[in-house]
Each structure stands twice: as structure tokens, then as C-alpha cells.
């Protein structure tokens, strides 16, 4: 008889675990409390706008290898836009654009050439950045428990490149300000990118709504005699003799699972810990708080930039995405132009109303794009995802959980666990696969 595994939570980590186990012949039930999959990488039907909208606009890099492999299995990898070489443009003000790109070669040499040909940045700054990256590539920098701000100051990075490269990169990848973000995670990311010839730094953006990338999961599992169960909420875990004995899901009690993976965020784990009198979960997750991301969707009657995406420097807005350009749609006359504005690490704007957030965005767009006015706005939507990611800091890194728990058949997955990466989609996929491997190892010894 096949071993039976329950995976709780159909976010990316849970999907990753379930697919990995299903591929290896285990009987898997993937339970999700909501009526759709994906967690924060999901979409919803907005009846007011009349469109499917993502919970937030995502930007990825080529280093998301495990996530891309997952999409390849689902047959949706071609729904991603991927750069041929690394190139990011930044608006400094309404008439100054700086382009940071690989030059001549699609590798580390191309990046260094692009760095030294970068306009508006001092030569001294360029040498210091190149030296720091060289040290990371050759693993000459030890992890130190510093914040990114402390780390950059220690390695004498100049303010011009901090503003143009380090700050946008760190905020985008870690959803944290420089004084909060852990330098040890930054070192891991940079080593992974540069040790592979910088090919993994290329920007990748979904060409369609996020739900379309992962919607084939249900069929993928069904084809392997496994099951996705939506609207199924875990209410209680009962432990007997050091292992999970029963799971209460909705109003049904399951006692036939050989192993369980909890692929849920810390606040959900904390709730289950309370309901199940599992104090270890409470102790585990009390060290984490969350960081928000604001996405503002705008529908305009004109195109204000032909760039697929562009960074905004010295602005509360971090990125502007031209959705039509990314999707490859050719906009016909009289059709609307859709944009997404992203503000990462957005807790400081939490008290703003949606109207105030919109006005802040419109004021900034008028500052950066002289051809834009508020009269161009046909429709808008402000989404403030207050628990977008776990906020990782130098102080709480060592509290990130491993996949294995003190209960022999209970395992953890999620982007907040000990992946060595930020709380990203790629981290979630890797954590799911790690938990699944631990399940297989456990069952092989039973």
C-alpha cells in the first residue's frame, strides 16, 4: 500500500512538496483553507474592475531555478518574460535615465564592463563595488550577523551605488530596508548569482496573471492519483507517542496519514499551535514579524513609458511595470494601458488610506513623467498586502525552522524556514522539496 502524506497549505511551498512526493509515487492530499491555490502568489477576480488581478506584481531573477523547473513540469514556463541579458533602467528624475546592463558578454565580465561604463557613478565607487563582488565570488567574506547597511559601510560602498544598485536590489529581494535586511542572506544571493557567470541575474516577469502559472497543479496531482482539496481548513493536530496521530480538517478527523507537512506561514502555524496546545510552534514563530508590499494598479488612456519595467530612484515608489508591454499585447487605439506600481517594505505607509496611497503615486508619476496627468487615469486599484513576507533580520535568522520537527512524522515548509534565501518564491519551492525529501527519508526507515 502506498504511503499517505498530508500537505497542509497550497501556497508555493505546499505545491512544491505535493508535486515532489506525487512524482515519486506517494499518495498525497494537498489541503488548502482558501478557495484557490498559490498563497501570496495568487490572483483574484475583482468584480469592481472586471479583471483577474494578482495579489501583487512579482519580479524574479534567473536564479529561481527550482521554481522554473516546477513551472516546466506544469507546462507554463513559457508564460514568463525573460531578459536575454541583464538590463535595468532607473529614472533619476524626469529627464535623466541611467541604464545598468551587461556589456558585450553575457557573464560576469559583461557585468563588470557594464559597471565601469555606467554613467553618473564615480570610478572610485565602481572599483569598490567590483572588489566586494570579487570577494563574495571567491568566498573571502565570512558571514558576520550584520545588517546590509552595516555590511555596505564596512566594505566602503559609496552612496551613489548604494542608491542606484544596492538599495533597489536589497529592498526588491528581501522586502526589507537596509538597516533590517541581513547581510548574510545578501551574501548568499550574490554568490549564487555571480558564481554562475551572472546568467542568473536576468530579470524574469510573468506575462500573465500568477494563478495561470500554477492552475495546472490540480490536474498534475490528479494524474498521479493524488488530490487537491480546497476550502479545507486544518483546525487541530493531535500528538500521541511523539508523532502526529490525527488531523482535524474542517469537521472531519483523519488518522490514516503516515506523514504530515505543514506548509503554512508563521501566523497560521501560531494559530494551530494554540488550538493544538503545541507550545513549540508558539515559541518558534514568536520571533518573526511581517513586512508589507503595496501594489497600485492603474488603467490609463495613454502610454507614459514604453519600458517593460523601470526603477524609480529617491522615490517612495520602487518599480513601475508596463503590463501590456510585458505580456506582449499590442495595444490598439482607444484601448487602456495597464500599469503596476510596487512599493516594497511598505510598513511606513500602512496608515494611509487607499485614496492617500493613490495620490502619493500620482504625484510621483507626475514628477517622473511630464507627459502624465491625473486626467489620464481611467481606473485604479490599491492593494496593501500587510503580511506579504516574513521580515528577516540578523537577529531572527537563527530562529528559522528546519524541515524536521521534534515530532517524527511532522515536517515544516515555507519561505520563512531555513533555506539560506530570502522569503521568496524560490525559497518556498526549495523548502517544499526539502520537506518532501525528509518525508521520503523518514518513511524509508519506518
CA distance 214 to 79: 11
The verdict on 298 and 366 lying in the same domain is: yes
- Which of 391, 413, 432 is the last residue before a domain boundary? 391
The verdict on 223 and 363 lying in the same domain is: no
CA distance 124 to 184: 25
The verdict on 277 and 220 lying in the same domain is: yes
Q: Does residue 235 lie within any of the structural domains? A: yes
Q: What pLDDT does residue 332 have? A: 55
The verdict on 312 and 430 lying in the same domain is: no
How do 87-93 and 96-101 pair as beta strands?
A: antiparallel
Q: Does residue 13 lie within any of the structural domains? A: yes
User: Could you tell me the end-to-end alpha-carbon distance of the chain, in angstroms, rounded to an integer?
Assistant: 14
Q: Does residue 65 lie within any of the structural domains? A: no
* 441 Cβ neighbours under 8 A, 6+ residues apart: none
CA distance 232 to 411: 19
Block means of pLDDT (10 residues each) for the chain, 446 residues, are 92 98 97 95 90 92 95 97 91 85 81 86 92 92 92 95 93 96 96 80 94 97 97 96 96 96 94 86 85 97 94 95 87 75 95 97 96 96 94 95 95 96 96 98 93
Q: Does residue 57 lie within any of the structural domains? A: no
Question: Rg of the chain's alpha carbons, rounded to an integer?
Answer: 23
Please report, for residues 11, 35, 127, 310, the alpha-carbon distance to residue 227 in angstroms, rounded to integers and kept in the order given: 15, 15, 55, 41
Strand residue runs (E) in 38-86: 43-46, 51-54, 60-61, 80-82
- Which of 139, 169, 196 is the last residue before a domain boundary? 196
Name which of 225, 244, 228, 254 is nearest 26 in CA terms: 225
CA distance 323 to 306: 10
The verdict on 421 and 434 lying in the same domain is: yes
CA distance 87 to 71: 24
Quick count: other Cβ atoms within 10 Å of Cβ 329? Answer: 12
Q: Does residue 201 lie within any of the structural domains? A: no
CA 229 to chain centre: 24
The verdict on 225 and 296 lying in the same domain is: no
The verdict on 157 and 250 lying in the same domain is: no
Q: pLDDT tens across 343-369, in order? A: 999 999 989 999 999 999 999 999 999
The verdict on 298 and 362 lying in the same domain is: yes
CA distance 244 to 439: 13
Give me the domain span that covers residue 146. Answer: 111-196
Q: Does residue 50 lie within any of the structural domains? A: no
Q: Does residue 100 lie within any of the structural domains? A: no
Q: What pLDDT does residue 70 have? A: 98
What SS3 state is found at 51?
strand
Q: What pLDDT does residue 107 have? A: 77
- Which of 196, 225, 256 is the last residue before a domain boundary? 196
Quick count: other Cβ atoms within 10 Å of Cβ 96? Answer: 11
Q: Does residue 97 lie within any of the structural domains? A: no
The verdict on 296 and 376 lying in the same domain is: yes
CA distance 173 to 64: 12
Q: What pLDDT does residue 433 have? A: 98
Domain count, the chain: 3
Asked whether 212 and 251 are in contact (CB, 8 A), the reply is: no
Say which CATH number the domain at 230 has. 3.50.50.60
Grid cell locating 308: 517593460
Name which of 178, 146, 150 is nearest 163 in CA terms: 178
The verdict on 317 and 257 lying in the same domain is: no
Amino acid at each position: 500500500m502506498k504511503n499517505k502524506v498530508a500537505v497542509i497549505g497550497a501556497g508555493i511551498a505546499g505545491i512544491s512538496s505535493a508535486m515532489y512526493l506525487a512524482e515519486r509515487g506517494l499518495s498525497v492530499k494537498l489541503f488548502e483553507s482558501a478557495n484557490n491555490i498559490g498563497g501570496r502568489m495568487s490572483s483574484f477576480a475583482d468584480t469592481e474592475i472586471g479583471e483577474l488581478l494578482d495579489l501583487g506584481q512579482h519580479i524574479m531573477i534567473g536564479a529561481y531555478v527550482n521554481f522554473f523547473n516546477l513551472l516546466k513540469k506544469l507546462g507554463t514556463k513559457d508564460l514568463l518574460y525573460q531578459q536575454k541579458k541583464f538590463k535595468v533602467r532607473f529614472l533619476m528624475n524626469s529627464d535623466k535615465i541611467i541604464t545598468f546592463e551587461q556589456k558585450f558578454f553575457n557573464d560576469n565580465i559583461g557585468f563588470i564592463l557594464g559597471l565601469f561604463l555606467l554613467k553618473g557613478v564615480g570610478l572610485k565607487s565602481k572599483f569598490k563595488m567590483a572588489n566586494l563582488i570579487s570577494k563574495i565570488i571567491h568566498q573571502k567574506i565570512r558571514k558576520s550577523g550584520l545588517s546590509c547597511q552595516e555590511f555596505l559601510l564596512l566594505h566602503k560602498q559609496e552612496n551613489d551605488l548604494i542608491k542606484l544598485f544596492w538599495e533597489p536590489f536589497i529592498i526588491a529581494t528581501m522586502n526589507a530596508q537596509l538597516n533590517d535586511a541581513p547581510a548574510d542572506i545578501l551574501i548568499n544571493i550574490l554568490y549564487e548569482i555571480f558564481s554562475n557567470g551572472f546568467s542568473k541575474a536576468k530579470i524574469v516577469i510573468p506575462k500573465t496573471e500568477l494563478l495561470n502559472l500554477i492552475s495546472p497543479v490540480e490536474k498534475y496531482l490528479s494524474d498521479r492519483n493524488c488530490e487537491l482539496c480546497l476550502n479545507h481548513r486544518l483546525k487541530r493536530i493531535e500528538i500521541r507517542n511523539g508523532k502526529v496521530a490525527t488531523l482535524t480538517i474542517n469537521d472531519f478527523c483523519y488518522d490514516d496519514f503516515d506523514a504530515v507537512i505543514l506548509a503554512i506561514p508563521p501566523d497560521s502555524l501560531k494559530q494551530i499551535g494554540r488550538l493544538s496546545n503545541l507550545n513549540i510552534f508558539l515559541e518558534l514563530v514568536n520571533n518573526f514579524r511581517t513586512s508589507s508590499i503595496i501594489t497600485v494598479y492603474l488603467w490609463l488612456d495613454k502610454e507614459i513609458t514604453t519600458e517593460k519595467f523601470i526603477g524609480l530612484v529617491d522615490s517612495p515608489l520602487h518599480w513601475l511595470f508596463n503590463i501590456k508591454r510585458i505580456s506582449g499585447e499590442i495595444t490598439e487605439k482607444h484601448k487602456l494601458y495597464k500599469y503596476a506600481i510596487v512599493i516594497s517594505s511598505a510598513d511606513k505607509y500602512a496608515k494611509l488610506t487607499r485614496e492617500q496611497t493613490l495620490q502619493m503615486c500620482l504625484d510621483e508619476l507626475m514628477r517622473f513623467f511630464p507627459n502624465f496627468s491625473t486626467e489620464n487615469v481611467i481606473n485604479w486599484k490599491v492593494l496593501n498586502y500587510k503580511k506579504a513576507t516574513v521580515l528577516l533580520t540578523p537577529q531572527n535568522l537563527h530562529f528559522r525552522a528546519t524541515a524536521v520537527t521534534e515530532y517524527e512524522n511532522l515536517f515544516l515548509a515555507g519561505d520563512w524556514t531555513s533555506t539560506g534565501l530570502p522569503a521568496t518564491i524560490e525559497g518556498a519551492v526549495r523548502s517544499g522539496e526539502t520537506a518532501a525529501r525528509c518525508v521520503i527519508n523518514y518513511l524509508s526507515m519506518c
